[in-house]
Amino acid sequence: MKSIQIKYLSETNTEGARLKAWTEAGSMTVGRDYELEDAMQAVHLAIAYCRKHEWPQPTGFGTLPNGDYVATLGTHNVFKEVTA
């Protein structure tokens, strides 16, 4: 099973708040969309990350003890109703 870790990055003096997704294949960072809750934006970022790497869509989603989000790729899709 593959997983994508997604971290919220606070704003700095030069950049606004953003979310960063990463795996061993690399990373992808997007600016925070204040219209969406962080968890939903993390789901959308995980889907975009999978498309970028031509992987199947995430099949699971949760929160790690440190507050980061995690999306998993496996065989059972719990996101059938989510489209980005």
Mean per-residue pLDDT over the chain, rounded: 89
The pLDDT of residue 25 is: 93
Global pTM reads 0.83
**Interval 28-57 mean pLDDT:** 93
E runs forming strands in the chain: 2-9, 18-23, 26-31, 60-63, 69-73
The pLDDT of residue 2 is: 86
The pLDDT of residue 74 is: 74
Share of the chain above pLDDT 90, in %: 73
CA atoms within 13 A on the CB side of 55: 21
Q: Where are the domains of the chain?
A: 2-73
